[in-house]
């Protein structure tokens, strides 16, 4: 008999499968006969990543939050309970400043949230769901930064929105589920940085 206790689940394969599934779902909703709407969106991200661990100095630096931006497209089913897949390009920035360190960490990624929402009353709605993320680029100012451990990651989103006609505004909180580190080497410094995002996101959308 097989020993299933020794089976290991590869998080990279799971994340890649989920983001491919989200893109597939996005396409299915667009091409189906379901009652749907679609539109464009953009806005600001008030972001900070995880801690920077400077192993040379034996210190941990927590980031200061900085504003980033995002833009993308979405589709949404109609009804009191709705499903809203999105494809979004996101740029975030965090500042690490302590003990002589003063560097900005920048990250570009593609986000593919799949949100389930509930229309509460009038234009007000709430939503929740996973966000599948593909990291395109990371950069730590003036410091050589290696690639992140995982290009594909998964986070969670919860938020509230208002939809008035074709115009929508929403506020959401996003948090990465697991750490995703990248190692760095600078002048007299070495260590690692947790690229996992935690951010408040303000979006304005227009539905066609």
* HSE-up of residue 197 (Cα within 13 Å, Cβ side): 34
Pick 10-207's CATH classification: 2.40.160.20, 1.10.10.10, 3.55.40.20, 2.40.160.10.
Answer: 2.40.160.20
pLDDT at 122 over 60: yes
Stretch 73-90: mean pLDDT, rounded?
90
Per-residue pLDDT, 139? 79
Residue 37, C-beta contacts closer than 8 angstroms, at least 6 positions apart: 75, 76, 78, 207, 208
pLDDT given at position 57: 64
pLDDT tens track for 129-144: 998 888 888 777 766 6
Least trusted range by pLDDT, from 125-129, 167-171, 179-183: 179-183
DSSP character string of the chain: ---GGG----HHHHHHHHHHHHHHHHHHHHHSSS-EEEEEEEEEEEEE---EEETTTTEEEPPEEEEEEEEEEEEEE-SSEEEEEEEEEEEEEEEEEETTEEEEEEEEEEEEEEEEEEEEETTEEEEEEEEEEEEEEEEETTBEEPPPS-SEEEEEEEEEEEEETTEEEEEEEEEESS--EEEEEETTEEEEEE---EEEEEEEEEE-
> Strands 101-121, 81-98: parallel, antiparallel or unpaired by DSSP?
antiparallel
Average pLDDT (68-73) is 93
**Are 76 and 38 within 8 A, CB to CB?**
yes
Q: Stretch 78-94: mean pLDDT, rounded?
A: 89
Q: Are 156 and 177 in contact (CB under 8 A)?
A: yes
- Write down the mean pLDDT value for the chain: 77
Residue 58 — pLDDT band, cuts 50, 70, 90?
A: low
Give one word for 13, left, alpha or beta, with left for phi > 0 and alpha for psi -120 to 50. alpha
**What is the spatial distance between Cα 208 and Cα 205, in angstroms, rounded to a whole number?**
10
Name the pLDDT band for 2 (thresholds 50, 70, 90).
very low
């Amino acid at each position: 008999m097989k020993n299933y206790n020794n089976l290991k689940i590869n998080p990279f394969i799971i994340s890649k499968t989920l983001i491919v599934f989200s893109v597939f779902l996005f396409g299915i909703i667009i091409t189906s006969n379901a009652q749907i709407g679609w539109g464009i969106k953009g806005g600001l991200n008030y972001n900070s990543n995880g801690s920077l661990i400077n192993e040379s100095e034996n210190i941990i630096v927590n980031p200061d939050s900085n504003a980033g931006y995002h833009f993308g497209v979405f589709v949404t089913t109609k009804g009191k309970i709705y499903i809203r897949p999105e494809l979004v390009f996101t740029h975030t920035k965090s500042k690490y400043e302590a003990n002589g360190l003063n560097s900005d960490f920048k990250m570009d990624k593609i986000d593919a949230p799949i949100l389930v929402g509930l229309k509460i009353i009038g234009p007000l709605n709430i939503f929740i769901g996973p966000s599948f993320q593909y990291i395109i680029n990371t950069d730590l100012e003036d410091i050589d930064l290696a690639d992140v451990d995982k290009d594909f990651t998964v986070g969670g989103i919860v938020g509230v929105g208002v939809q008035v006609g074709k115009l929508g505004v929403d506020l959401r909180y996003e948090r990465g589920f697991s750490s995703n580190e990248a190692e760095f080497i600078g002048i007299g410094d070495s260590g690692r940085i947790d690229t996992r995002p935690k951010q408040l996101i303000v979006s304005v959308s227009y539905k066609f």
